[in-house]
Homo-oligomer: A and B are copies of this chain.
Amino acid sequence: MDKFIFSVPTTIFFGEGQARAFAEAVKSYGEKALIVFGGGSVKKNGIYDEITTALHAAGVKTVDHGGIEPNPRVESVRAGIDLVKKEGVDVIVPMGGGSTIDAAKLIAAGALTAADPWKIVIGEAKVTGALPICTVLTLAATGSEMDQGSVITNPETKEKLGWGSPKVLPKASLLNPAYTVSVNGYHTAAGTADIMSHTMENYFTVDDSAFVQDSMAEGVLRACIHAGPAALKDGGDLEARANLMWASSWAINGLLRKGKPQAWSVHPMEHELSAFYDITHGVGLAILTPRWLRHVLSAKTAPKIARFGRRVFDIKSEDDVDAANEAIEALYDFFVRMGIPMTLKEVGIGEEHLAEMAKACANHAGGVIRGFVDLHEEDILAIYKASL
Q: Residues on A close to B: CB < 8 A?
A: 1-18, 21, 177, 209-220, 222-223, 226-227, 239, 242-243, 246-247, 250, 255, 258-259
Q: Which residues of B contact A214 (CB under 8 A)?
A: 219
* Bound CA span A247–B259, Å: 13
Q: A216-B250, A223-B212 are in contact. Are A12 and B5 (CB under 8 A)?
A: yes
Can you list 13 A-B pairs, Cβ within 8 angstroms, ordered by A?
Answer: A5-B12, A5-B14, A7-B11, A8-B8, A8-B9, A211-B226, A211-B227, A211-B243, A212-B246, A214-B219, A215-B219, A215-B223, A216-B250
* Bound CA span A2–B246, Å: 12
Q: Contact check: which of B1, B16, B223 meets A243 at CB < 8 Å?
A: B1
Q: Give me 12 other A-B pairs in contact (C-beta within 8 A), A9-B9, A211-B222 excluded.
A: A1-B14, A1-B243, A3-B14, A4-B12, A5-B18, A6-B12, A7-B9, A211-B227, A212-B219, A212-B223, A212-B247, A246-B259
Max chain B C-beta neighbours (<10 A), residue from A6, A250, A259:
A6
Q: Which residues of B contact A223 (CB under 8 A)?
A: 211-212, 215-216
Q: Contact check: which of B6, B13, B211 meets A14 at CB < 8 Å?
A: B6
Q: Is the CB of A14 within 8 A of B215?
A: no
- A207: nearest chain-B partner, CB-CB: B239
Q: Is the CB of A14 within 8 A of B258?
A: yes
Q: Contact check: which of B5, B11, B215 meets A220 at CB < 8 Å?
A: B215
- A218: nearest chain-B partner, CB-CB: B219
Q: Which residues of B contact A239 (CB under 8 A)?
A: 1, 209, 211
- A248: nearest chain-B partner, CB-CB: B212
Q: Which residues of B contact A177 (CB under 8 A)?
A: 1
- A255: nearest chain-B partner, CB-CB: B250
* Bound CA span A213–B219, Å: 8
> A294 to nearest B CB, angstroms?
26
